[in-house]
A and B are shown apart, each in its own frame.
Chain A
Amino acid sequence: MSVTRILPAPKGIFLEGTAQVYRGDSANVFTATGRKDVSYVGHLRGYRDLSESTNVDLGFSYAFGHNDVGSAFHTQLYGLDATLRWKPLRRSIYHHFLARTELVWSHRDQLSAALLLPETQRAFGFYTSGEYRLNRRWTVGARYDRSDRARQANLTDSGFSALLTYWPSEFSQVRGQYRFARYAEKQDANELRFQFLFVLGAHGAHPF
């Protein structure tokens, strides 16, 4: 069940609230072991145009649910997100800049590994990314992420990505990504990824 509404706010500010209640599992985060094990999600989003070309989006999220240890064990997630967009109207198809960050705090009830006593693991993770459209065909981007593991917060993984996207037209894109990840076990990974996207059928909505 989900309710989303535009909320009253001072002039020029778009405020939207979302409240959701659902039953179900989401990999590694929430697990429903009984019918009454529902999860709740709330999100508050504030948006403002800083100018006709620049706008900012800020959000706060909260999620509560049961985890895989058992019905009495809960996981709570607190999130903050921010997005800054710049797109000059006269040249909107040629240039834009987008910076985005999300911070998530996790409080997970579980049994301690050593003594099997109830404990709460408090973990933190975030990513920050930027993307700049150089011209009508080329976009460059970068992303840094770092997160503690929810079940063992003293272990931290981090990574960095660089992206290059080529747009032959509005209806297709070719993307290359290099990603370096350093895992808590002191293992490093270097990855190269390619993505080909083709849009078929009716013209869909442009992403915002």
Chain B
Amino acid sequence: MTQRSSRLYVLALAAAAVVTAAGSAAPARAAGKLYIVTSTTDLAALAQEVGGDRVEVESIARGYQDPHFVEAKPSFLLKLKHADLLIMVGLQLEIGWLPPLITQCGNPKIQPAAPGYLDASQFAEILEIPTTQVTRAMGDVHPLGNPHYWLDPENGLRIARGIEQKLSEMRPNDAAYFAQRYESFRQRLENEDKKWLEEMKPLRGLKVVTYHRSWPNFAKHFGIEVVGYVEPRPGIPPSPAHTVELIQLMKREKVKLILVEPYFDLKTPNAIARETGAQVIVLLPSVGGEKEVTDYFKLFDYDIALLTKAFAATR
């Protein structure tokens, strides 16, 4: 055998080994459980509520992480490679990182339009859908609407219902179990929501400023009014000129609360607060934003407790 053909032979063998080995790489999952990967912790929490012990759920993003800027790490490919179902927020929230992971993971079950690909936005009420052409001059505006829709408990319920239907479709034998889990979740959520709305009653009509446009669904549901943003445009860092304008606006509108997501720097919000006498509170947009916020109910418990306490302090 010549040196050249021997090289060809070795390369062909190596390629064959690569291909063969790839087929055998499958980690042991709990027997019979559907393996669900979600893009965010909120969707993971909702999937867990409905799926109970018949599913294993993992989230790619952490609750204290900006979901726009998750890194497409190869370790996530290992999760996606074995997923039976992928649930995402959609509306281009994950556009910077999830599409390449889906493409590269090589899992046909979770490719777009496959049965294991679930975009939760289809079930939710979407706000801030642009009515004009979206351009980069508007910042990182999502052309399909604001993707932070899970922060309305009514949307939480709609998403849970959508997940229940999907799980029943994938596991018809467990459909009754998923329906019962959903019903239990619905009852608990509706009861909790009544309590939250009662607690938030004194804050109805309250004017606030938020760092990013994360809260339109939350604000609508609980009746608070967002009058300005620390970011001049979505995704654009605060500029001195905008900060001055915002301070004037807050003084004029007597805004006393600035809501900041846990992944933004507090330097500018604190400076604005000093100028306006407002209070900065770090409100959690996602489950897992703090250790004790371990499920969808605790997310609202945490945020509403913070808001009502801060509101009381401004009186």
Judge whether B62 is part of the interface by a CB distance below 8 angstroms: yes
Judge whether B24 is part of the interface by a CB distance below 8 angstroms: yes
A199 touches B69 (CB 8 A): no
Q: Which residues 4-31 of A sit at the B interface, judged by CB distance below 8 A?
A: 5-9, 11-12, 14, 16-17, 19, 21
B21 touches A7 (CB 8 A): yes
Judge whether A115 is part of the interface by a CB distance below 8 angstroms: no
A136-B237, A203-B92, A203-B95 in contact; A6/B71 too (CB < 8 A)?
no
B237 touches A3 (CB 8 A): no
B75 touches A55 (CB 8 A): yes
Residue numbers in A under 8 Å from B72 (CB-CB): 205-206, 208
Contact flags B149-170 to A (C-beta < 8 A → 1, else 0):
0000000000000000000000
Judge whether A89 is part of the interface by a CB distance below 8 angstroms: yes
- How many A-B contacts if CB must be within 8 Å? 111
Residue numbers in A under 8 Å from B97 (CB-CB): 205-206
Residue numbers in A under 8 Å from B65 (CB-CB): 89-90, 92
A19 touches B237 (CB 8 A): no
A6-B25, A92-B69, A171-B136 in contact; A206/B18 too (CB < 8 A)?
no
Residue numbers in B under 8 Å from A55 (CB-CB): 73, 75
A6 touches B237 (CB 8 A): no
Which of B21, B92, B140 interacts with A170 by CB under 8 Å? B140
Judge whether A174 is part of the interface by a CB distance below 8 angstroms: no
Contact flags B119-150 to A (C-beta < 8 A → 1, else 0):
00000000000000000100110000000000
Which of A3, A11, A16 interacts with B15 by CB under 8 Å? A3
Judge whether A93 is part of the interface by a CB distance below 8 angstroms: yes
Judge whether B7 is part of the interface by a CB distance below 8 angstroms: yes
Assembled-state Cα–Cα distance A73/B140 (Å) = 53
Closest to B239 in A: A168
A205 touches B99 (CB 8 A): yes
Judge whether B292 is part of the interface by a CB distance below 8 angstroms: no
Judge whether A179 is part of the interface by a CB distance below 8 angstroms: no
A42-B11, A89-B65 in contact; A14/B74 too (CB < 8 A)?
yes
CB distance from B64 to the nearest CB of A (A): 5
B139 touches A19 (CB 8 A): no
Q: Which residues 34-90 of A sit at the B interface, judged by CB distance below 8 A?
A: 40, 42, 45, 47-49, 52, 55, 57, 64, 85, 87, 89-90
A7-B18, A8-B21, A199-B136 in contact; A205/B263 too (CB < 8 A)?
no
Shortest 6 CB-CB contacts between residues of A and residues of B: A5-B22, A8-B25, A14-B74, A206-B96, A19-B15, A47-B74
- B residues near A, CB below 8 A? 7, 11, 14-15, 18-19, 21-22, 24-25, 27, 62, 64-66, 69, 71-75, 77-78, 81, 92, 95-97, 99-100, 105-106, 136, 139-140, 235-237, 262-265
- 23 A-B pairs with CB atoms under 8 Å apart are A3-B19, A6-B77, A7-B25, A14-B74, A16-B74, A40-B7, A40-B11, A42-B11, A47-B74, A47-B75, A52-B62, A55-B75, A57-B74, A92-B65, A92-B71, A93-B69, A94-B265, A171-B140, A200-B136, A205-B97, A206-B72, A208-B71, A208-B73
